[in-house]
Amino acid sequence: MNIKICGTGSALPEKVITNKDLEKMVDTEDSWIVDRTGISQRHVASDEENVASLGTLAAKRALEMSNMTIADIDMILVATCSDDDRLPNCACMIQKGLGGTTVPAFDINSACTGFLTALTITDAYFNSGMYKRILVVGTETLSRIVDYTDRGTCILFGDGAGAAVLEAVESDTRMVSSLFANGEKGDALTCTAAGKVLMDGQGVYKFATRCVPQVINDVLSKAALTTDDIDLFVLHQANKRIIDSIARTLKSDINKFPMNIANVGNMSSASIPVLLDEINRKKLIKKGDKIVLSGFGAGLTYGACIITWE
């Protein structure tokens, strides 16, 4: 069974914090942030918005594009690491927001690898024959756990949600994926229940530029493909320099790496589905395209997959 992405959707809060706004909050400069990260602004949730409300909106848009309703969905998977509430889980809150269904709904927390993890879980359910249609949502309000006095982290993160309606289809190809976690290096990026994000920026940078090319080469070799066979690399949007470095290591054309980080910053598990929705709505993907998706982040976790667009 292959995964068909029937529809995508996203939701970004209206409120924006620009680099100029951050200049008034911490000792930083717009030009430094742009040079070191590629980020110019990030969206920030209002008091009325949360991971569930943003995720519900993104899910509604994905269902609409799929010409489906929630009644067509067998399961709801939500990737998030910034839910305000411990109980109920965000997936059940989104289920409530969509209404009219009692299908299983649960959360996954593998930080910025969350959407990738949800895709591999979906692949396993589809190929076990257990479910045929799964709604996957990546949603974050990182602004609630970011320390706006720490210039090393507050410049990076933003809020938003992305969703995809996935369907199992008979096909000659199947998604190929690899997921890894290195808990021993977990101290590089942490956030305690009552605290804020703490990060060893250079440590995470080195991990990403080393491990992401490795895991992408791993899935390419599993699929017996080379980078030349890949039409698009949809990577977690953590830092433009990280993506540039990965493209160089893979000796691949940077034009195959779409980016939206300048406008949205790092939205953890929402980054990949929001970017996917953006390029899908711009009709930059065509049937038969081979797309690498890759996520990396706290854990430390990382992973990649190759999907063939149905």
The secondary element (H helix, E strand) that includes residue 4 is: strand 2-11
* Of residues 153 and 178, the one with the C-beta less far from ligand COA: 153
* Of residues 154 and 165, the one with the C-beta less far from ligand COA: 154
Catalytic residue flag (residue 266): yes
Distance between CA atoms of residues 244 and 252, nearest Å: 10
Under the binding rule (CB under 6 A), the answer on residue 281 touching ligand COA is no
Catalytic residue flag (residue 43): no
**CB 105, CB 91: distance < 8 Å:** yes
**CB 161, CB 11: distance < 8 Å:** yes
Beta-carbon neighbour count of residue 16 at 10 Å?
15
Stretch that binds ligand COA, among 56-64, 72-80, 89-97, 198-206 (CB under 6 A): 198-206
The secondary element (H helix, E strand) that includes residue 79 is: strand 75-79
Structure tokens given for 305: 């997959």
* Of residues 202 and 214, the one with the C-beta less far from ligand COA: 202
Catalytic residue among 112, 191, 211, 305: 112
Q: Which of 92, 201, 259, 263 binds ligand COA (CB under 6 A)?
A: 201
Sign of CA dihedral 182, 184, 189, 193: positive
Distance between CA atoms of residues 42 and 18, nearest Å: 7
Structure tokens given for 3: 């995964």
Q: 49 pairs with which residues across the strands?
A: none
Distance between CA atoms of residues 38 and 244, nearest Å: 10
Under the binding rule (CB under 6 A), the answer on residue 204 touching ligand COA is yes
User: Residue number with the shortest CB distance to ligand COA?
Assistant: 201
Catalytic residue among 50, 89, 266, 280: 266
Structure tokens given for 215: 């895991």
Rounded (to 5) percent helix, strand, coil in the chain? 40, 25, 35
Under the binding rule (CB under 6 A), the answer on residue 37 touching ligand COA is yes
Q: 305 pairs with which residues across the strands?
A: 177, 293
| Window 227-256: contact mask with ligand COA (x via CB under 6 A) | -----------xx-----------------
- Minimum CB separation of residue 295 from ligand COA in Å reads 8
Catalytic residue flag (residue 236): yes
- Minimum CB separation of residue 245 from ligand COA in Å reads 11
Which residues within the stretch 110-139 sit at the binding site for ligand COA (CB under 6 A)?
Answer: 112
Under the binding rule (CB under 6 A), the answer on residue 28 touching ligand COA is yes
Stretch that binds ligand COA, among 28-36, 48-56, 253-261, 278-286 (CB under 6 A): 28-36
The total number of residues written for the chain in this structure: 310
Q: Which of 152, 181, 249, 262 binds ligand COA (CB under 6 A)?
A: 152
Catalytic residues: 112, 236, 266
Binding residues for ligand COA (CB under 6 A): 28, 32-33, 36-37, 112, 151-152, 155-156, 199, 201-202, 204-205, 238-239, 266, 297
